[in-house]
Amino acid sequence: MDDIDDIISINSSYSSHDDDGDNDPVLLSVARRIARIMTDSSNNNNNTTSMKKLFTILLECNDDIKYKHNILIQNKINSIAKDLEEEMDMFIKHCKPIIDQNIPIPVLVREKSNELLLEDAVAVEEEEEDEEKITPSKFSRKIKHFLLDLLNHQLYDDWDDYRGLDCDRDTEHELENVLRIYPDVLKYSPEIFGCHSIKYATFIPMVAQLRMEFSKNLDRRVEYLGFPRALISLVSRRPGKQDDHQLLDHRIATTMKRLKVMGLFKKGDIENQQLLHFFAICVGDDANSFSSEVFQFLVTWDPVQLITANDDHTRQLPLHHAAYHCSLDYFQAVFEAGLRYFPRKMGIYILFQKRRWRYTPFDRACWRYGREKVLKVIESTLIKCSANPYDTAEVLFIAATNEDISIDGIYFLLRRTPDVVQKLSRSNIAIYIEERDVDIIDTIDIVIKEEKEFQEILDLEKHIDIYITSHDDYWYAQYDDDNRKRIRDDSNNISGHDHDYGNKKSRRT
């Protein structure tokens, strides 16, 4: 306590010079702050002794005539005073809140702080060079770099040595506390928006909110959220080997809902960033990885995207991606959603949409899982959604006249509801289709002419033969009551049928 009493005495003595016009105001301010810190540091004798010595030197330099008017000494003192004042400000703002443990911060940041203080204690004990000792600026810089590592390194939770943020351990309040102490780490879009780990996905809304608060020059969503990167990363996040699939699904869906409430996720983003397409491509063919909560959130908010093609040259629908990339469960979910939101027409159309891609979702699903399995899934889904069924006659008519719908759709509808032919016959509807797609189909003529023919087809007393000519392939579709299937063969292997490639001659039943 004697040292502290001496410090207080020296401080009082120095304060008595306030009215002296020769006193340096910078030195006066620094000396007062040193005295205050020394008084607060009574539990650290080393610091108190060092600061008492500095305080005494400053007082001596200010009073002693041999130093007071020496410009060289005065310049050095001014430089030291300025640097010391900056260090003291740094300590108060960026070091003391963490060192004193007055606020909760993430565990890893606390461990880093303790590590730095331990290193400094060792350096002091071993009387190492001053460069090895921790100053407020060094402490602040190292903590800041550590935070940047936490926010920007691509730390995947599949790694056995994962050392990143963890929402099961760290809270948003803890992370917010330390980010408010070091707001500069949010100057640039952090790598956390890449959503590499399920463990920190839930921190994204809070980090985006702080970027909105701190970055006054950022006035667009694209900068607050690293947009569209964060949204695409969220829907593209595939489960890792250690992930709980349902937990991942829930956390991502919750994050997206929060971003929606914050105004950082808008309905138009689903279409503009093709989120439903990315989701289908990245969900994978693991049945356990199907994120139903995320899917339902996107579809419920903007169901039109189920029938909206992507903007690349293929013009595919989400069901195309589901058939090509995903499990049969996800394929069924997308198809069922289409039926529920567009029960009258489009729900069944998307199953046979070609767009600019040769294969339909039905084709691709059959290729991956087998025709029998796919037909069973389709039939069970149609039965499940039978409360609001489609109008078969209307759908058949439109399917036959729409060049984007595969002829498979017509076969499927006729096979599933053969009595639709009678309904069509009463209206004497004749459907002619010419040159629907010159690259695949040169001519298709479906002629429904007389009641007698309809009855013959309905009773399955005759085969339904539809011939389609193309430049590359010859397709022969045959239905009968014993073996209803579509047969595709190379044109050179089909005998007994005349055909001319590229002609416009109608071939009909």
CA of residue 248 relative to chain centroid, distance? 12
Q: Is the residue at 190 inside a domain?
A: no
* 179, pLDDT greater than 80: yes
Tokens of 180: 């408010």
* 155, pLDDT greater than 50: yes
Say which residue, 386 or 43, is predicted with more confidence: 386
Q: Which of 84, 102, 120 is the last residue of a domain?
A: 102
Say which residue, 482 or 362, is predicted with more confidence: 362
- pLDDT score, position 348: 81
pTM of the model: 0.67
Say which residue, 178 or 410, is predicted with more confidence: 178
Averaged pLDDT score across all residues of the chain? 70
Q: Is the residue at 7 inside a domain?
A: yes
- pLDDT score, position 485: 40
Q: How confident is residue 350, by pLDDT bands cut at 50, 70 and 90?
A: confident
Q: Is the residue at 79 inside a domain?
A: yes
Q: Which of 102, 130, 158 is the last residue of a domain?
A: 102
* 129, pLDDT greater than 80: no
Of these ranges, 49-53, 153-157, 413-417, 486-490, the one predicted with the greatest mean pLDDT is: 413-417
* % of the chain with per-residue pLDDT over 70: 56
Beta bridge partners of 353: 405
Instruction: For residue 443, give its domain range.
Output: 418-509
Instruction: Quote the CA–CA distance of 72 and 60 in Å, as a whole number.
Output: 15
Query: What is the side-by-side order of every strand in the sheet holding 464-469?
Result: 464-469, 474-479, 485-489
Q: Is the residue at 475 inside a domain?
A: yes
Q: What is the mean pLDDT of residues 384-405?
A: 76
Instruction: Quote the CA–CA distance of 136 and 113 in Å, as a whole number.
Output: 12
* Angle in degrees, CA 407, 412, 417, rounded to 5: 130
Q: Is the residue at 218 inside a domain?
A: no
Say which residue, 187 or 43, is predicted with more confidence: 187
Q: What is the mean pLDDT of residues 120-138?
A: 71
Q: What is the mean pLDDT of residues 397-404?
A: 76
Q: How confident is residue 509, by pLDDT bands cut at 50, 70 and 90?
A: very low
* 3, pLDDT greater than 90: no
- pLDDT score, position 165: 84
**DSSP letter for each residue of 34-70:** HHHHHHHTTT-HHHHHHHHHHHHHHHHHHH-HHHHT-
Tokens of 320: 């195309």
Tokens of 67: 């130093």
CA of residue 219 relative to chain centroid, distance? 21
* 382, pLDDT greater than 50: yes
Q: Is the residue at 85 inside a domain?
A: yes
The H or E element that residue 193 is part of is none
- pLDDT score, position 427: 46
Crossing angle of helices 229-236 and 275-283, in 10° steps, is: 30
Main-chain phi, psi angles of 475, to 5 degrees? -105, 135
* Phi-psi group of 502: left, alpha or beta (phi > 0 → left; psi -120 to 50 → alpha; rest → beta): left
* 508, pLDDT greater than 60: no
Instruction: Quote the CA–CA distance of 106 and 108 in Å, as a whole number.
Output: 6
Instruction: Quote the CA–CA distance of 505 and 507 in Å, as a whole number.
Output: 7
Q: Is the residue at 399 inside a domain?
A: no
Instruction: Quote the CA–CA distance of 132 and 124 in Å, as a whole number.
Output: 9
Of these ranges, 67-81, 122-136, 158-172, 334-348, the one predicted with the greatest mean pLDDT is: 334-348
Task: Find out whether 259 and 205 touch, Cβ atoms under 8 Å.
Answer: yes
Lowest mean pLDDT among 83-87, 413-417, 447-451: 447-451
**DSSP letter for each residue of 315-326:** ---HHHHHHHHS
Say which residue, 509 or 337, is predicted with more confidence: 337
Q: Which of 49, 77, 102 is the last residue of a domain?
A: 102
Residue in 48, 173, 47, 196 with CA at minimum distance from that of residue 106: 173
Model pLDDT for residues 227-276, shown as the tens digit of each residue: 566 788 888 776 655 567 788 888 889 999 999 998 888 898 898 888 98
Say which residue, 445 or 425, is predicted with more confidence: 425
Q: What is the mean pLDDT of residues 185-208?
A: 81
- pLDDT score, position 507: 31
Lowest mean pLDDT among 47-56, 129-138, 291-300, 482-491: 482-491
* 173, pLDDT greater than 90: yes
Q: How confident is residue 296, by pLDDT bands cut at 50, 70 and 90?
A: very high
Q: What is the mean pLDDT of residues 310-326?
A: 82
Lowest mean pLDDT among 112-121, 287-296, 416-425: 416-425
Q: How confident is residue 79, by pLDDT bands cut at 50, 70 and 90?
A: confident
Residue 227 DSSP code: T
Q: H helices within 370-509, ranges in order?
A: 371-384, 392-401, 407-416, 420-426, 451-458
* 440, pLDDT greater than 50: no
* Angle in degrees, CA 188, 192, 198, rounded to 5: 170
* % of the chain with per-residue pLDDT over 90: 13
* 476, pLDDT greater than 80: no
Q: Is the residue at 316 inside a domain?
A: no
Instruction: Quote the CA–CA distance of 389 and 344 in Å, as a whole number.
Output: 7
**DSSP letter for each residue of 415-445:** HH-TTHHHHHHHTT--EEEEEEETTTEEEEE
Structural domain count of the chain: 2
- pLDDT score, position 104: 94
**Peptide bond between residue 228 and the one before it cis (omega within 30 degrees of 0):** yes
Residue whose token pair is 């408010």: 180
* Angle in degrees, CA 218, 219, 225, rounded to 5: 70
